[in-house]
Structure 1
Amino acid sequence: MLTDAQIIDLTREAVMTAALMSAPLLIAALVAGLIVGLLQALTSVQELTLTFVPKVAAMLLVFALTSSFMVGLCLRLFEDRILPLIG
């Protein structure tokens, strides 16, 4: 049976892993949004799809480049923390 401290520690580590996995995607969306926002301010073009499409494209590109990193983080969490608690 898991103690309260083990559950809290496992939850903390799972949240930290989720934050590390989502960080590259969120940073890509932020940078793409800033660039598109600056271009919209410079050109006075206010089109909603102009902000959405580059963000999605940047996030897909970053996801393709960092998916092995994300899978490694997830596997490390399961192998190091969750599987020993099950066995």
Structure 2
Amino acid sequence: MNEADVFELVRAGIWAAVWAAGPVLAVALLVGFGISLLQALTQLQEATLSFVPKIVAMLVTIVLALPFMYGVLATFTEQVVARIGGAP
């Protein structure tokens, strides 16, 4: 295994992590933006108002996106094992 193979595995690992975490991070961003907008419009500065809906939305997203996340990580793992098995 040479340097190019290692860089390719690292690149693929980073992309797998981005794809696996992407749906949860996108939902957290959108819910956080919506709550911040609501707080700015109503001048309601309750700390729990920003955390509780975001956590609930993230948990629901994790449950719904879990098959997709598993598929991405399983594909990456299969690629890594195939490269390890094919290495001299």
Structure 1 unaligned residues grouped into runs of 5+: none
Structure 2 unaligned residues grouped into runs of 5+: none
1:20 is matched by which residue type in structure 2?
W
Q: Partners in 2 of 1:12 and 1:86 — Cα distance? A: 16
Report the alpha carbon displacement of residue 41 of structure 1 after superposing the two structures with TM. Answer: 1.2
How many residue pairs are counted as aligned between the two chains? 85
Q: Partners in 1 of 2:2 and 2:29 — Cα distance? A: 39
- Paired-residue identity, %: 39
Q: Partners in 2 of 1:78 and 1:27 — Cα distance? A: 24
Where has structure 1 moved over 3 Å in runs of 4 or more?
none
TM value normalised by structure 1:
0.93
Q: Partners in 1 of 2:19 and 2:25 — Cα distance? A: 10
- Within 5 Å, which residues of 2 pair with 1:1-87? 2-79=1-78, 81-87=79-85
Query: Please, what is the CA RMSD of the aligned residues?
Result: 0.8
2:21 is matched by which residue type in structure 1?
S
